[in-house]
């Protein structure tokens, strides 16, 4: 089977899970054998398991108090056990911070190769081939793993989110032999923001150096994003200038995103930026330079000054 460990939060599958389903379906079409299987781990996860069944051919549900909190040791043990029992040939784990923490442990337990941070995946005979960025994303490397099974993490935003499967998958409860975690999360201070995370957002409003200043982000980018229920992105120039946090950087050395609509305000469209958002469904650009490279990839563009156009957009989006 092709095993995917589902990422979910607040009772809903994360977008990254649907991206992994796309990767798995591609491998299945390429000849990798077995059903696309989602492993859902957690406590009180019946709702997530039902949602998972709409995307996968089968869903394995590990619902236990011992899985109430994410823990690398426990997640690695559960994943390796299921991979072994189900003779998984491919184990796909999200390239989130936690995914990248436990995926190598799964590979060690199974004695398999590990392909980290894949931006694309192909079957090549008996081997699994992945592309990934290296050398600060200046180089795209192709790597190939041989072996009866391979563990892979996928870079968030690199695959289009999958649509539902033709027929819902079967659900099975699994009995897991879990180790003591050794670590307990004793406090959680959740940032109070109503703004959607970049990797989950259907709409992203990104500001570039053309926005002018950190203050102008508060005047233009944030209100427009809030009116549209969008995430806020930034270019590296903006992050380097200290106007926005690195977490918002989109591009080769930032996040890779694939929203339905990407609105770029005062962004030139450097190749390193485009590589992080070029797969967005619709790209809308506002830039005062008609020759800016962003217009070569934009579906809709306005040649003009953000100081004049964005207030009008904010007013229109308020209605
Ligand atoms: C190894 C490497 C990795 C990199 N990784 C990334 C990355 O992950 N993400 C990233 O974004 N960049 C990355 N870069 C940097 C990238 O090359 C560009 O320098 C950067 O994207 C430029 O950001 P910008 O578009 O905000 O600024 P600029 O290139 O300065 O463009 C500003 C744009 O705003 C327009 N403008 C100015 N004033 C206005 C106005 N009033 N109204 C409307 N438009 C206006 C200008 O016409 C211009 O097109 C990387 C570079 C390297 C070498």
Domain boundary assignment for the chain: 2-173, 198-318
CB atoms within 10 A of CB 23: 24
The DSSP element (H or E) to which 19 belongs, if any, is helix 15-29
Q: Is the pLDDT of residue 192 over 80?
A: no
Decide: 239 in ligand 1 pocket, CB within 6 A: no
Q: What is the pLDDT of residue 194?
A: 65
The pLDDT, as a whole number, for residue 136 is 67
Give the Cα separation of 96 and 162 in Å (integer).
18
What φ, ψ does residue 95 adopt, rounded to 5°? Answer: -85, 35
Closest by alpha carbon to 42, among 17, 75, 84, 20?
Answer: 75
CATH no., domain 2-173: 3.40.50.620
| Nearest-angstrom CA–CA distance, 102 and 183 | 14
Cβ-contact 17, 7 below 8 angstroms:
yes
Over residues 96-132, the pLDDT tens digits come to 999 999 999 999 999 999 999 999 999 999 999 999 9
Res 312 pLDDT > 80: yes
Tokens of residue 316, six digits:
């229109």
Is the model's pLDDT at 287 over the cut of 90? yes
* CATH number for the domain formed by residue range(s) 198-318: 3.40.50.1220
Compute the distance between CA of residue 292 and CA of residue 304 in angstroms, rounded to an integer.
12
Q: In the chain, pLDDT over 90 holds for what percent of residues? A: 89
| Residue 48 confidence (pLDDT) above 70 | yes
Q: Is 292 in the pocket of ligand 1 (CB under 6 A)?
A: yes
Average pLDDT for 206-232 = 97
**Which of the listed residues 238, 270, 308 should we mutate to test ligand 1's pocket, taking the one with most ligand atoms within 8 A of CB?**
270
Using an 8 Å Cβ cutoff, are 5 and 144 in contact? Answer: no
Closest CA to 153 of 183, 128, 182, 178: 128
Q: Is the pLDDT of residue 185 over 90?
A: no
Q: Note the pLDDT of residue 134.
A: 85
Residue 137 has pLDDT above 80, yes or no: no
% of the chain beyond a pLDDT of 70: 98
Cα distances (angstroms) measured from residue 1 to each of 77, 100, 132, 144, 290: 18, 21, 24, 20, 51
pLDDT-wise least confident of 58-67, 131-140, 157-166, 213-222: 131-140
126 lines ligand 1 (CB under 6 A): no
* H helical segments located in 211-319: 214-216, 222-228, 236-240, 271-277, 294-297, 306-318
Q: Output the CA–CA distances (angstroms, integers) from residue 92 to 102, 103, 184, 246, 289, in the order listed.
A: 12, 9, 26, 27, 43
Give the sign of the dihedral formed by CA 256, CA 21, CA 93, CA 185.
positive
> Best mutation site among 272, 298, 306 for ligand 1, i.e. most ligand atoms within 8 A of its Cβ?
272
Given a cut of 80, whether residue 94 has pLDDT beyond it is: yes
Binding site membership of 155 for ligand 1 (Cβ less than 6 Å): no
For the stretch 21-38, pLDDT in tens is 999 999 999 999 999 999
Average per-residue pLDDT for the chain: 95
Give the pLDDT of residue 306.
Answer: 97
Strands of the sheet containing 282-287, edge to edge, are 231-234, 203-207, 261-265, 282-287, 300-303
Q: What was the pLDDT predicted at 197?
A: 85
Confidence of residue 200 (pLDDT cuts 50, 70, 90): confident
Mean pLDDT of 230-254: 95
The alpha carbon of 170 and the centre of ligand 1 are apart by a number of angstroms equal to 48
pLDDT score at 195: 81
pLDDT, position 318: 86
Q: What is the pLDDT of residue 193?
A: 66
CA of 225 to the centre of ligand 1 (A): 19
């Amino acid at each position: 089977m092709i095993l995917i460990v589902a990422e979910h939060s607040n009772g809903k599958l994360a977008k990254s899970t649907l991206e992994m389903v796309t990767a798995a379906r591609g491998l299945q079409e390429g000849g990798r054998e077995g059903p696309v299987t989602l492993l859902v781990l957690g406590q009180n996860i019946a709702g997530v398991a039902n949602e998972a069944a709409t995307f996968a051919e089968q869903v394995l549900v590990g619902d236990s108090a011992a899985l109430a909190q994410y823990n690398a040791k426990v997640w690695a043990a559960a994943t390796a056990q299921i991979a072994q029992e189900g003779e998984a040939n491919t184990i796909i784990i999200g390239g989130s911070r936690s995914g990248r923490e436990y995926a190598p442990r799964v590979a060690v337990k199974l004695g398999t190769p590990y392909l980290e941070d894949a931006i694309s995946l192909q079957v090549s005979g008996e081997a699994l081939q992945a592309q990934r960025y290296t050398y600060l994303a200046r180089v795209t490397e192709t790597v190939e793993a041989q072996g009866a099974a391979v563990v892979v993490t996928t870079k968030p935003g690199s695959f289009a989110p999958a649509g539902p499967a033709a027929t819902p998958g079967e659900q099975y409860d699994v009995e897991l032999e879990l180790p003591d975690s050794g670590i307990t999360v004793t406090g959680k201070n959740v940032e109070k923001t109503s703004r959607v995370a970049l990797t989950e957002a259907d709409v992203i409003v990104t500001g570039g150096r053309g926005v002018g200043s950190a203050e102008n982000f508060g005047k233009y980018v944030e209100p427009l994003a809030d009116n549209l229920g969008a995430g806020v992105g930034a270019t590296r120039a903006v992050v380097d200038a200290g106007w926005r946090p690195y977490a918002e950087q989109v591009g080769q050395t930032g996040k890779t995103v694939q929203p339905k609509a990407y609105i770029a305000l005062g962004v030139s469209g450097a190749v390193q930026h485009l590589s992080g958002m070029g797969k967005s469904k619709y790209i809308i650009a506002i830039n005062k330079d008609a020759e800016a490279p962003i217009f070569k990839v934009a579906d809709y563009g306005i040649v003009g000054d953000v100081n004049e156009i964005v207030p009008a957009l904010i007013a229109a989006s308020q209605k």
